[in-house]
């Protein structure tokens, strides 16, 4: 968890890029404050100009009223320009933070995304940044004018009467002590509030995205119970944070009223003894009010800034996460991969005290088709994650064409793979753009040919605009099978050296699956292929079938060889086809 000083320092680094806007804001703030503080002088002179009946200086009053009108107009313009500059600074800083946070998200390892829910990450980038923007804008708008007003009123009050000024200066610091005490109390509550809000957003995102499953399994009551528990905690943190922040204003106003009363009594004493005119007393009362007002506003700003700093801290924590970097300097590059993969004494586990892959050895020759089967949790997908370098091995090595993949850049390594997963991913755009996602330089004709090979062409032609039909985020206006076909077409278009199919046909009907299997047969010709499958009927033509259990390869061979052994694979096969 980052400290407040560190967070503020990081925020200032972002603000530093817009120093010229800061200068404009300070200039207009200074103009507005000086003119606002000059106004009571004119008001006092106006009071002194009509102090007695029959002795009113109308010429002077006209002149003073004209000056006051001009000053009020210029002050309004200066305040408007200051607010424009402050808004510009705030939203430029927020834009930069969101941009950097999103860039960081692209560089974070898969491990981070596995450990944090999507909703929680989205909450940091959307809700927390919005809360930070609100606090930052209030800080700019009120802090600048507040500090300048305090300095300016002190100068004008000292110029008018030193002794009454001392009364003001001695009492007003009490409001700062009150604000500082409350700020310490609110910071921890705002931090817990932000965490609970992120947890709540994560639950909502999860439940909305899986609403069919929730309803199918009757999980509604449990989901509501979880939501109520999180919502209750959020309510508690929010109420406590709001309570402490809400007493700031009344407490500081009480101190401010003491100051105003002190000035009034002391000023009246000086006026009765002819040390101060009635006009100057009214000027002083106005200054006393203007002097204490910023303390009240700044105390409110402090509360908002506590929330803003807390939210900024959550964003910066994400941005401070360790990026997916190369463990060693990139030494080599493979231009065209032959497809040979060698796993030598590989050890890996997601959790240190829970071993998963242990002493895994496998040599895959170019062009071989390797199927990986086994019960859930045995490590099938983990092998794919290691081959793709989504995770790095703890011990041992994985080599492509004899080169340790850690000596290659991830970009170079992954350029040789084509991957189709059980879970599809499509971006918001046209059908054609989604097929071209992995190969931007391909032509429309090549994309259509890939769609034909994947048997997606027929359903695409039935869409309103064909290949130019815009699909929603993740293809929500398409069926699961249609989304899968598009993902397969995307890989076919890339024509990679190594093909990875992780339950690639799980969402497709049997007839279409047979057609796609024939397309895959053509695609896999001359290419090394890794096929993760639960349906053993789809892997009978594999050159090697690896049977995994508890992170180890317990059997390997062709389909006929493994059936002949009558071991674990044979039992799996018999159970699927109910052969007794």
Q: How confident is the model at residue 2 (pLDDT cuts 50, 70, 90)?
A: low
The answer to whether 408 and 332 are in contact (CB under 8 A) is: yes
Rounded CA separation 515/505 (Å): 11
Query: Does residue 337 lie in a domain region?
Result: no
Question: How many domains are there within the chain?
Answer: 2
Structure tokens at 416: 């040789």
Whether residues 298 and 151 share a domain: the answer is yes
Rounded CA separation 388/560 (Å): 30
Structure tokens at 19: 């120093």
Whether residues 305 and 431 share a domain: the answer is no
Whether residues 309 and 447 share a domain: the answer is no
Strand partners, 362: 343
Residue 544: enclosing H or E segment and its boundaries? strand 544-549
> Cα 416 vs. chain centroid, distance in angstroms?
31
Whether residues 439 and 297 share a domain: the answer is no
Q: What was the pLDDT predicted at 140?
A: 65
Residue 523 backbone dihedrals phi, psi, to 5 degrees: -65, -35
Residue 246 backbone dihedrals phi, psi, to 5 degrees: -75, -25
Query: Does residue 335 lie in a domain region?
Result: no
Domain end residue (candidates: 470, 495, 520): 495
Query: Residue 325 burial (CB < 10 Å; 0-12/13-18/19+)?
Result: exposed
Neighbouring residues of 52: CB distance < 8 A, sequence distance ≥ 6:
none
Structure tokens at 186: 């609110």
Whether residues 310 and 451 share a domain: the answer is no
Which CATH number does the domain housing residue 481 bear?
A: 3.40.50.300
The answer to whether 460 and 403 are in contact (CB under 8 A) is: no
**Angstrom distances, CA of residue 484 to CA of 251, 479, 507:** 63, 9, 7
Which segment of 194-203, 242-251, 425-434, 452-461 scores lowest on mean pLDDT? 242-251
Whether residues 313 and 436 share a domain: the answer is no
Helices and strands in the chain, H and E counts: 22, 12
Structure tokens at 401: 């064409």
Strand partners, 548: 553
> Cα 575 vs. chain centroid, distance in angstroms?
46
Q: Which domain holds residue 452?
A: 426-495
Whether residue 540 has pLDDT greater than 80: no
The answer to whether 200 and 227 are in contact (CB under 8 A) is: yes
Whether residues 309 and 435 share a domain: the answer is no
Rounded CA separation 569/580 (Å): 15
Query: Residue 84 burial (CB < 10 Å; 0-12/13-18/19+)?
Result: middle
Query: Does residue 510 lie in a domain region?
Result: no
The CB density around residue 90, as the number of other CB atoms within 10 Å, is: 23
Structure tokens at 221: 């009551």
Whether residues 431 and 305 share a domain: the answer is no
Q: What was the pLDDT predicted at 349?
A: 83
Rounded CA separation 485/279 (Å): 85
Among the listed residues 355, 334, 333, 345, the one whose alpha carbon sits nearest the alpha carbon of residue 397: 345
Q: What was the pLDDT predicted at 303?
A: 65
Q: What is the pLDDT of residues 306-327, one digit of tens each?
A: 777 777 888 888 888 877 665 5
Query: Does residue 543 lie in a domain region?
Result: no
Whether residues 432 and 299 share a domain: the answer is no
Q: What is the pLDDT of residues 25-80, one digit of tens each?
A: 888 888 888 888 788 777 777 777 776 656 667 777 788 888 888 988 998 998 89
Instruction: Give the SS3 label for residue 345.
Output: strand
Query: Does residue 340 lie in a domain region?
Result: no
Whether residue 546 has pLDDT greater than 50: yes
Which CATH number does the domain housing residue 55 bear?
A: 1.20.1560.10
Query: Does residue 343 lie in a domain region?
Result: no
Q: What is the pLDDT of residues 166-182, one digit of tens each?
A: 777 777 667 667 666 66
Domain end residue (candidates: 291, 319, 347): 319
Domain end residue (candidates: 268, 292, 319): 319
Query: Does residue 49 lie in a domain region?
Result: yes
Q: Which of 77-81, 192-196, 204-208, 436-440 has the highest mean predicted lDDT (pLDDT)?
A: 77-81
**Average of pLDDT values for 420-429?**
80
Neighbouring residues of 48: CB distance < 8 A, sequence distance ≥ 6:
277, 278, 279, 280
Q: What angle do CA 223, 218, 224 make, to 5 degrees?
A: 20
Rounded CA separation 425/227 (Å): 28
Q: What is the pLDDT of residues 214-254, one digit of tens each?
A: 777 777 788 888 888 888 888 888 887 777 767 766 776 77
Q: How confident is the model at residue 300 (pLDDT cuts 50, 70, 90)?
A: low
Q: What was the pLDDT predicted at 175?
A: 66
Long-range pairs of 100-106 with CB within 8 A, sequence gap ≥ 24: 100/319, 101/125, 101/129, 101/315, 101/318, 101/319, 104/318, 104/319, 104/321, 104/323, 105/318
How would you label 124-156 residue by residue, b for 16+ Cβ within 10 Å and e otherwise? bbebbbebbbebbbbbbbbbbbbebbbebbeeb
Rounded CA separation 576/572 (Å): 6
Rounded CA separation 289/264 (Å): 11
Whether residue 446 has pLDDT greater than 80: yes
Rounded CA separation 162/266 (Å): 12
Q: What is the pLDDT of residues 326-379, one digit of tens each?
A: 555 667 888 888 888 898 888 888 877 777 888 888 888 888 888 888 887 777
**Angstrom distances, CA of residue 175 to CA of 223, 264, 306:** 46, 19, 17
The CB density around residue 35, as the number of other CB atoms within 10 Å, is: 18
Q: What is the pLDDT of residues 92-143, one digit of tens each?
A: 888 888 888 888 888 887 777 777 777 778 778 887 888 787 777 767 667 6
Rounded CA separation 44/109 (Å): 67
**Average of pLDDT values for 390-415?**
86
Query: Does residue 329 lie in a domain region?
Result: no
């Amino acid at each position: 968890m980052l400290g407040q000083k560190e967070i503020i320092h990081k925020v200032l680094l972002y603000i530093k890029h817009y120093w010229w806007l800061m200068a404009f804001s300070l200039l207009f703030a200074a103009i507005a404050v000086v003119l606002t503080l000059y106004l009571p002088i004119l008001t006092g002179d106006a009071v002194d100009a009509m102090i007695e009946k029959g002795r009113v200086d109308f010429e002077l009053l006209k002149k003073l009223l004209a000056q006051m009108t001009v000053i009020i107009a210029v002050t309004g313009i200066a305040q408007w320009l200051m607010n424009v500059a402050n808004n510009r600074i705030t939203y430029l800083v927020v834009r930069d933070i969101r941009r950097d946070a999103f860039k960081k998200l692209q560089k974070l390892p898969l491990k981070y995304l596995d450990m944090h829910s999507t909703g929680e990450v989205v909450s940091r980038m959307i809700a927390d940044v919005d809360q930070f923007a609100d606090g930052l804008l209030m800080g700019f708008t009120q802090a600048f004018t507040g500090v300048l007003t305090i300095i300016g009123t002190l100068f004008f009050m000292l110029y008018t009467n030193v002794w009454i000024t001392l009364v003001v200066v001695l009492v007003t610091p009490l409001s700062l002590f009150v604000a500082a005490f409350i700020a310490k109390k609110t910071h921890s509550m705002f931090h817990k509030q932000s965490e609970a809000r992120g947890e709540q957003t994560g639950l909502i995102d999860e439940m909305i995205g899986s609403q069919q499953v929730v309803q199918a399994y009757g999980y509604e009551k449990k989901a509501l119970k979880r939501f109520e528990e999180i919502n209750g905690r959020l309510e508690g943190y929010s109420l406590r944070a709001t309570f402490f922040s809400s007493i700031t204003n009344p407490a500081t106003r009480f101190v401010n009223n003491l100051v105003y009363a002190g000035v009034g009594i002391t000023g009246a004493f000086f006026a009765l003894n002819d040390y101060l005119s009635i006009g100057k007393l009214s000027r002083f009362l106005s200054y006393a009010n203007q002097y204490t007002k910023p303390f009240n506003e700044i105390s409110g700003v402090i509360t908002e800034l506590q929330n803003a700093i807390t939210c900024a801290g959550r964003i910066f924590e994400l941005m401070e996460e360790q990026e997916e970097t190369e463990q060693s300097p990139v030494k080599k590059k493979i231009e065209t991969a032959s497809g040979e993969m060698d796993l030598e004494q590989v050890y890996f586990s997601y959790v240190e005290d829970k071993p998963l892959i242990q002493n895994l050895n496998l040599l895959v020759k170019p062009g071989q088709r390797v199927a990986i089967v086994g019960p859930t949790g045995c490590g099938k997908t983990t092998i794919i994650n290691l081959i793709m370098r989504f995770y790095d091995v703890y011990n041992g090595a994985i080599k492509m064409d004899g080169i340790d993949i850690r000596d290659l850049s991830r970009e170079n390594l992954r350029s040789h793979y084509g991957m189709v997963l059980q879970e599809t991913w499509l971006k918001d755009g046209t059908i054609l753009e989604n097929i071209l996602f992995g190969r931007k330089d391909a032509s429309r004709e090549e994309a259509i040919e890939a769609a034909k090979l994947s048997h997606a062409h027929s359903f695409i032609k039935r869409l309103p605009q064909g290949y130019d039909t815009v699909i929603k985020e993740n293809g929500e206006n398409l069926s699961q099978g249609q989304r899968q076909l598009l993902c397969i077409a995307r890989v076919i278009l890339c024509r990679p050296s190594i093909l990875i199919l992780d339950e690639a046909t799980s969402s497709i009907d049997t007839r279409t699956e047979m057609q796609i299997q024939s397309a895959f047969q053509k695609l896999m010709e001359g290419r090394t292929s890794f096929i993760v499958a639960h349906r053993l009927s789809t892997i009978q033509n594999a050159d090697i079938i690896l049977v995994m259990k508890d992170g180890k390869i317990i059997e390997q061979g062709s389909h006929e060889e493994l059936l002949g052994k009558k071991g674990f694979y044979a039992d799996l096969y018999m159970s699927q086809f109910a052969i007794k």
